[in-house]
Protein backbone atom coordinates (compact mmCIF):
# COMPACT_ATOMS: atom_id res chain seq x y z
CA UNK A 1 0.00 0.00 0.00
CA UNK A 2 0.98 3.61 -0.35
CA UNK A 3 2.37 4.66 3.05
CA UNK A 4 1.99 8.39 2.48
CA UNK A 5 -0.83 10.93 2.08
CA UNK A 6 -3.44 8.82 3.85
CA UNK A 7 -5.94 9.58 6.59
CA UNK A 8 -5.79 6.61 8.94
CA UNK A 9 -7.98 5.49 11.85
CA UNK A 10 -6.44 2.94 14.24
CA UNK A 11 -8.38 1.18 16.99
CA UNK A 12 -6.42 0.45 20.14
CA UNK A 13 -4.09 3.18 18.94
CA UNK A 14 -3.06 4.53 22.33
CA UNK A 15 -0.68 1.74 23.32
CA UNK A 16 1.23 -1.31 22.15
CA UNK A 17 1.22 -2.26 18.49
CA UNK A 18 -1.54 0.27 17.75
CA UNK A 19 0.52 3.14 19.09
CA UNK A 20 3.60 1.89 17.27
CA UNK A 21 1.77 1.80 13.94
CA UNK A 22 0.12 5.16 14.61
CA UNK A 23 3.46 6.84 15.29
CA UNK A 24 5.11 5.22 12.28
CA UNK A 25 2.32 6.36 9.95
CA UNK A 26 2.35 9.80 11.60
CA UNK A 27 6.09 10.17 10.93
CA UNK A 28 5.45 9.35 7.28
CA UNK A 29 3.24 12.45 7.05
CA UNK A 30 -0.13 10.70 7.18
CA UNK A 31 -3.10 12.12 9.07
CA UNK A 32 -3.60 9.68 11.94
CA UNK A 33 -6.55 9.30 14.32
CA UNK A 34 -6.22 6.91 17.25
CA UNK A 35 -9.28 5.33 18.84
CA UNK A 36 -9.81 3.51 22.12
CA UNK A 37 -11.74 3.33 25.37
CA UNK A 38 -9.27 5.15 27.62
CA UNK A 39 -9.27 8.88 26.98
CA UNK A 40 -6.19 9.48 29.15
CA UNK A 41 -4.12 6.96 27.18
CA UNK A 42 -5.22 8.44 23.86
CA UNK A 43 -4.44 11.97 25.01
CA UNK A 44 -0.96 11.03 26.24
CA UNK A 45 -0.14 9.45 22.90
CA UNK A 46 -1.56 12.39 20.94
CA UNK A 47 0.36 14.86 23.11
CA UNK A 48 3.58 13.04 22.28
CA UNK A 49 2.70 13.23 18.58
CA UNK A 50 1.41 16.73 17.77
CA UNK A 51 -1.26 16.71 15.10
CA UNK A 52 -2.53 13.22 15.87
CA UNK A 53 -6.30 13.05 16.39
CA UNK A 54 -8.24 11.03 18.96
CA UNK A 55 -11.70 9.52 19.27
CA UNK A 56 -13.03 7.68 22.31
CA UNK A 57 -14.96 4.53 21.47
CA UNK A 58 -15.66 1.04 22.72
CA UNK A 59 -15.59 -1.55 19.93
CA UNK A 60 -17.79 -3.86 22.01
CA UNK A 61 -20.65 -1.34 21.95
CA UNK A 62 -22.53 -0.87 18.63
CA UNK A 63 -23.82 2.56 19.66
CA UNK A 64 -20.28 3.71 20.42
CA UNK A 65 -19.03 2.53 17.05
CA UNK A 66 -21.92 4.21 15.22
CA UNK A 67 -21.38 7.52 17.02
CA UNK A 68 -17.62 7.41 16.46
CA UNK A 69 -18.05 6.62 12.77
CA UNK A 70 -20.28 9.66 12.29
CA UNK A 71 -17.85 11.88 14.20
CA UNK A 72 -14.74 10.66 12.38
CA UNK A 73 -16.27 10.83 8.89
CA UNK A 74 -17.56 14.34 9.62
CA UNK A 75 -14.22 15.61 10.91
CA UNK A 76 -11.96 13.63 8.58
CA UNK A 77 -13.73 13.39 5.25
CA UNK A 78 -10.55 12.12 3.59
CA UNK A 79 -10.40 9.01 5.77
CA UNK A 80 -9.23 6.16 3.54
CA UNK A 81 -7.55 3.63 5.84
CA UNK A 82 -9.02 1.79 8.82
CA UNK A 83 -6.85 -0.42 11.04
CA UNK A 84 -8.69 -3.01 13.15
CA UNK A 85 -6.11 -3.42 15.89
CA UNK A 86 -8.03 -3.46 19.20
CA UNK A 87 -7.81 -6.84 20.91
CA UNK A 88 -7.78 -8.58 24.28
CA UNK A 89 -6.32 -11.88 25.46
CA UNK A 90 -6.98 -14.15 28.44
CA UNK A 91 -5.64 -17.43 29.72
CA UNK A 92 -8.10 -20.35 29.78
CA UNK A 93 -7.26 -23.77 31.24
CA UNK A 94 -9.83 -26.35 30.27
CA UNK A 95 -7.76 -29.10 31.90
CA UNK A 96 -8.43 -27.64 35.34
CA UNK A 97 -11.65 -27.85 37.32
CA UNK A 98 -11.89 -24.08 37.70
CA UNK A 99 -15.02 -22.45 36.28
CA UNK A 100 -14.75 -20.92 32.85
CA UNK A 101 -13.70 -17.28 32.84
CA UNK A 102 -16.97 -16.10 31.30
CA UNK A 103 -16.06 -12.42 31.40
CA UNK A 104 -12.75 -13.01 29.67
CA UNK A 105 -14.28 -15.30 27.05
CA UNK A 106 -16.99 -12.78 26.18
CA UNK A 107 -14.50 -9.92 26.09
CA UNK A 108 -12.30 -11.80 23.62
CA UNK A 109 -15.22 -12.65 21.36
CA UNK A 110 -16.85 -9.22 21.57
CA UNK A 111 -13.61 -7.29 21.00
CA UNK A 112 -11.65 -9.57 18.68
CA UNK A 113 -14.53 -10.78 16.52
CA UNK A 114 -17.76 -8.84 16.86
CA UNK A 115 -15.97 -5.51 17.20
CA UNK A 116 -14.10 -5.99 13.93
CA UNK A 117 -17.28 -6.95 12.10
CA UNK A 118 -19.18 -3.93 13.37
CA UNK A 119 -16.29 -1.51 12.89
CA UNK A 120 -15.67 -2.67 9.33
CA UNK A 121 -19.36 -2.45 8.48
CA UNK A 122 -19.61 1.06 9.92
CA UNK A 123 -16.79 2.48 7.80
CA UNK A 124 -16.96 0.39 4.62
CA UNK A 125 -19.51 2.54 2.74
CA UNK A 126 -17.31 5.60 3.29
CA UNK A 127 -14.14 3.77 2.26
CA UNK A 128 -15.81 2.57 -0.94
CA UNK A 129 -16.33 6.20 -1.93
CA UNK A 130 -12.57 6.83 -2.01
CA UNK A 131 -10.44 6.22 -5.10
CA UNK A 132 -7.97 4.16 -3.03
CA UNK A 133 -8.68 2.78 0.43
CA UNK A 134 -7.52 -0.01 2.73
CA UNK A 135 -8.79 -2.05 5.66
CA UNK A 136 -5.90 -3.46 7.69
CA UNK A 137 -6.90 -6.28 10.02
CA UNK A 138 -4.41 -7.25 12.72
CA UNK A 139 -4.49 -11.00 13.23
CA UNK A 140 -1.58 -13.00 14.68
CA UNK A 141 0.84 -15.78 13.86
CA UNK A 142 -1.35 -17.73 16.30
CA UNK A 143 -4.19 -17.54 13.78
CA UNK A 144 -2.34 -20.22 11.80
CA UNK A 145 -0.88 -22.34 14.59
CA UNK A 146 -2.50 -21.83 18.01
CA UNK A 147 -0.89 -21.66 21.44
CA UNK A 148 -2.90 -23.95 23.71
CA UNK A 149 -2.83 -21.67 26.75
CA UNK A 150 -4.80 -19.04 24.80
CA UNK A 151 -7.42 -21.21 23.06
CA UNK A 152 -10.12 -18.56 22.64
CA UNK A 153 -7.74 -15.75 21.67
CA UNK A 154 -6.12 -17.93 19.00
CA UNK A 155 -9.53 -18.93 17.67
CA UNK A 156 -10.56 -15.27 17.41
CA UNK A 157 -7.42 -14.50 15.42
CA UNK A 158 -8.16 -17.44 13.13
CA UNK A 159 -11.53 -15.76 12.60
CA UNK A 160 -9.78 -12.51 11.63
CA UNK A 161 -7.79 -14.41 9.01
CA UNK A 162 -10.88 -16.14 7.61
CA UNK A 163 -12.98 -12.97 7.70
CA UNK A 164 -10.27 -11.03 5.90
CA UNK A 165 -10.18 -13.60 3.11
CA UNK A 166 -13.95 -13.53 2.62
CA UNK A 167 -14.19 -9.75 2.86
CA UNK A 168 -11.38 -9.38 0.34
CA UNK A 169 -13.26 -11.58 -2.11
CA UNK A 170 -16.61 -9.85 -1.62
CA UNK A 171 -15.28 -6.32 -2.21
CA UNK A 172 -12.62 -7.15 -4.80
CA UNK A 173 -14.37 -4.99 -7.41
CA UNK A 174 -14.31 -1.92 -5.19
CA UNK A 175 -11.49 0.52 -4.45
CA UNK A 176 -10.93 -1.01 -1.00
CA UNK A 177 -8.05 -3.41 -0.36
CA UNK A 178 -8.13 -5.81 2.59
CA UNK A 179 -4.75 -6.38 4.18
CA UNK A 180 -4.06 -8.84 6.97
CA UNK A 181 -1.07 -8.04 9.18
CA UNK A 182 -0.05 -10.98 11.39
CA UNK A 183 2.41 -10.11 14.18
CA UNK A 184 4.62 -12.66 15.92
CA UNK A 185 4.96 -12.55 19.71
CA UNK A 186 5.57 -8.85 20.40
CA UNK A 187 6.56 -7.30 23.74
CA UNK A 188 3.30 -5.52 24.65
CA UNK A 189 1.13 -5.43 27.76
CA UNK A 190 -1.24 -7.97 26.18
CA UNK A 191 0.69 -10.79 27.87
CA UNK A 192 2.39 -8.80 30.61
CA UNK A 193 -0.80 -8.11 32.57
CA UNK A 194 -1.22 -11.87 32.99
CA UNK A 195 2.35 -12.43 34.13
CA UNK A 196 3.33 -14.16 30.89
CA UNK A 197 7.00 -13.57 30.10
CA UNK A 198 8.26 -16.55 28.09
CA UNK A 199 6.48 -19.54 26.64
CA UNK A 200 9.39 -21.90 26.25
CA UNK A 201 13.15 -21.90 26.50
CA UNK A 202 14.98 -19.85 23.92
CA UNK A 203 11.99 -17.75 22.87
CA UNK A 204 11.45 -14.08 23.66
CA UNK A 205 9.06 -11.43 22.36
CA UNK A 206 10.01 -9.15 19.50
CA UNK A 207 10.60 -5.55 20.67
CA UNK A 208 7.87 -3.21 19.44
CA UNK A 209 10.26 -0.92 17.48
CA UNK A 210 11.68 -3.92 15.60
CA UNK A 211 8.20 -5.21 14.82
CA UNK A 212 6.97 -1.82 13.62
CA UNK A 213 9.97 -1.39 11.33
CA UNK A 214 9.37 -4.84 9.80
CA UNK A 215 5.61 -4.29 9.55
CA UNK A 216 5.98 -0.95 7.78
CA UNK A 217 8.39 -2.52 5.31
CA UNK A 218 5.90 -5.30 4.59
CA UNK A 219 2.99 -2.87 4.31
CA UNK A 220 4.87 -0.95 1.63
CA UNK A 221 4.49 -3.95 -0.70
CA UNK A 222 1.43 -5.06 -2.67
CA UNK A 223 0.97 -8.24 -0.61
CA UNK A 224 -2.36 -8.74 1.16
CA UNK A 225 -1.38 -11.40 3.73
CA UNK A 226 1.55 -10.17 5.78
CA UNK A 227 2.94 -12.51 8.45
CA UNK A 228 5.75 -10.48 10.02
CA UNK A 229 9.12 -11.84 11.13
CA UNK A 230 8.59 -14.93 13.35
CA UNK A 231 4.94 -15.18 12.31
CA UNK A 232 6.15 -16.36 8.89
CA UNK A 233 7.11 -19.70 10.44
CA UNK A 234 3.70 -20.12 12.07
CA UNK A 235 1.99 -19.08 8.83
CA UNK A 236 3.90 -21.74 6.89
CA UNK A 237 3.55 -24.45 9.53
CA UNK A 238 -0.15 -23.87 9.92
CA UNK A 239 -0.84 -24.70 6.27
CA UNK A 240 1.54 -27.64 5.92
CA UNK A 241 1.57 -31.33 6.77
CA UNK A 242 3.94 -30.49 9.62
CA UNK A 243 1.30 -28.64 11.58
CA UNK A 244 0.32 -31.38 14.06
CA UNK A 245 3.90 -32.28 14.94
CA UNK A 246 4.95 -28.66 15.17
CA UNK A 247 2.05 -27.89 17.51
CA UNK A 248 3.24 -30.50 19.98
CA UNK A 249 6.87 -29.45 19.72
CA UNK A 250 6.56 -25.70 20.26
CA UNK A 251 3.25 -25.23 22.07
CA UNK A 252 3.54 -27.47 25.12
For the stretch 45-100, pLDDT in tens is 999 999 999 999 999 999 999 999 999 999 999 999 999 999 999 999 999 999 99
Active-site choice (76, 90, 153, 235): 153
User: For residues 40 and 10, is the Cβ–Cβ distance under 8 A?
Assistant: no
Domains, the chain: 7-250 (3.40.50.720)
pLDDT of the residue at 196: 53
Task: Verify whether residue 76 is a known catalytic residue.
Answer: no
pLDDT digits (tens, 9 = 90+) for 185-200: 999 977 555 555 555 4
What pLDDT tens digit does each residue of the chain (252 aa) get?
999 999 999 999 999 999 999 999 999 999 999 999 999 999 999 999 999 999 999 999 999 999 999 999 999 999 999 999 999 999 999 999 999 999 999 999 999 999 999 999 999 999 999 999 999 999 999 999 999 999 999 999 999 999 999 999 999 999 999 999 999 999 997 755 555 555 544 578 999 999 999 999 999 999 999 999 999 988 987 655 444 444 444 444
User: How far are the Cα atoms of 65, 148, 203 from residue 183, in angstroms, in the given order?
Assistant: 25, 18, 15
User: Which residues fall within 8 angstroms of residue 35, CB to CB, at 6 or more apart?
Assistant: 9, 10, 11, 12, 13, 42, 54, 55, 56, 57, 68, 72, 86
pLDDT of the residue at 252: 42
User: For residues 111 and 88, is the Cβ–Cβ distance under 8 A?
Assistant: yes
- Torsion over CA: 127, 128, 134, 138 (sign): positive
Question: Please, what is the average pLDDT of the chain?
Answer: 91
- Torsion over CA: 179, 185, 186, 191 (sign): positive
Amino acid sequence: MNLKENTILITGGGSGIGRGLAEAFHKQGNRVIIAGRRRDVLERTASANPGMGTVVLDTTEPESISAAAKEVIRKYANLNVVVNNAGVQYLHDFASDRPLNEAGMLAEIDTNIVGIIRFTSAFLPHLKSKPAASIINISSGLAFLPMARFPIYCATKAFVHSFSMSLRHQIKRTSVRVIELAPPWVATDLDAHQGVTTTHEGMSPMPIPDFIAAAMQDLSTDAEELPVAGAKFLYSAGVSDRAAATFEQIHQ
